[in-house]
Chains A and B, each alone.
Chain A
Amino acid sequence: MTMQILLNLLIAMVWMLLHDVWNTLTFTIGFILGFFIIYSFRRFFPTPFYGRKLWAILKLIYLFGIDLMMSSIVVIGQVIRPRLNIQPGIFKMETKLKTEWELAMLVNLLTLTPGSVVMEIAPEEGILYVHAMDVKRNKPSVIKTKNKLEDVIIEVMR
């Protein structure tokens, strides 16, 4: 994958050399051209095409953004209620991610989505301990978010 990105950068450089114009626009055009060239030659690379990973990353950002919005509104709604009506608590959930990088990404993203802070991780058992602001109402949505993010993270990292 790194090989393909380097090759793409090289193609962009060569494009700039051929035009003898050294600005960002020419570089971008060269990079897009290189992207399509590598796409059409993807059969001959030993590793899968890197555009697929790029797509997975975009999907992760998109999913995460939507979750962030939705749950932010929920949390702000809980905060501005005249009487606090929350039942905080700690619950545990399982994860199928194993390596450190994947776990770190999942925990960071989960901590950023409102309504849940990851408190403790047991990597060997694959268990996350999550503090939720309102256990009963938030638990299903947190688990749903986790499942969604897990699938996309696997797509990105493997």
Chain B
Amino acid sequence: MSAKEIIEAVVLVMVIIGTLMNSLSSLGFIRLPDVYNRSHAATKSITLGILFILLGTFIHFLFVDNYFSVRLLLGIVFVFLTAPVTGHLIVRSAYRFGVKLSDTSIKDELAEDLERAKKKEARTEGT
């Protein structure tokens, strides 16, 4: 087995892992109950899947074609920069908009604290 074949095998495995992760998180996107849980599937496993696919492509271009592709690395960086921001924003605005948590949820400490803050505000306004 030559070095090229080994590298091709590694690239193959990485791309397959990445694709599997992406398809599984899409499955999670369908199955999970509410916005908040779906954002888990949308922001995390998908970023990891993209990391694997782009790294595999990067290695392929580097060793098979002898081409150092900075753009692929930049793609990884930007996906990792933007995915959590969008996830956070969507979840936050959904909560502010009053989207209810699914029935299976067992805990909501944010609602308790928001309630308390509101009461405190009303009291200070009243006096």
Contacts and interface: CB of A to CB of B under 8 A. Distances in A.
Co-assembled chains A and B: yes
Interface of A: 68-69, 71-72, 75-76, 79-80, 84, 86-92, 107-109, 111-115, 117-120, 129, 131, 133, 135-136
B12 to A, nearest CB: 20
Contact of A90 (B44, B84, B107): B107
Interface in B81-127: 81, 83-85, 87-88, 91-92, 95, 101-102, 104-111, 113
Contacts of B37: 86, 88, 133
19 contacts: A68-B44, A68-B48, A76-B45, A86-B104, A87-B106, A88-B102, A88-B104, A88-B106, A90-B105, A90-B107, A90-B108, A92-B113, A107-B84, A111-B87, A111-B88, A112-B44, A114-B48, A117-B39, A135-B107
Q: How large is the interface on B (under 10, 10 to 19, 20 to 34, 35 or more residues)?
A: 35 or more
B113 to A, nearest CB: 7
Contact of B110 (A68, A71, A88, A92): A92
A112 B43 CA distance: 7
Interface in B16-49: 21, 24-25, 27-28, 31-34, 36-37, 39-41, 43-45, 47-48
B47 A112 contact: yes
Contacts of B91: 117, 119, 131
Contacts of A115: 40, 44
Given A69-B48, A114-B44, A118-B88, 12 more contacts: A71-B44, A72-B21, A88-B106, A89-B105, A90-B107, A90-B109, A108-B81, A111-B43, A112-B83, A117-B36, A117-B40, A135-B106
Interface in B39-81: 39-41, 43-45, 47-48, 80-81
Contact of B24 (A76, A88, A113, A133): A76
- Give the interface centre of A84, A88, A120 by most chain B CB atoms within 10 Å: A88
A119 B44 contact: no
A111 B106 contact: no
B45 A72 contact: yes
A84 B30 CA distance: 12
A84 B31 contact: yes
B45 A114 contact: yes
B21 to A, nearest CB: 7
Contact of B101 (A79, A88, A107): A88
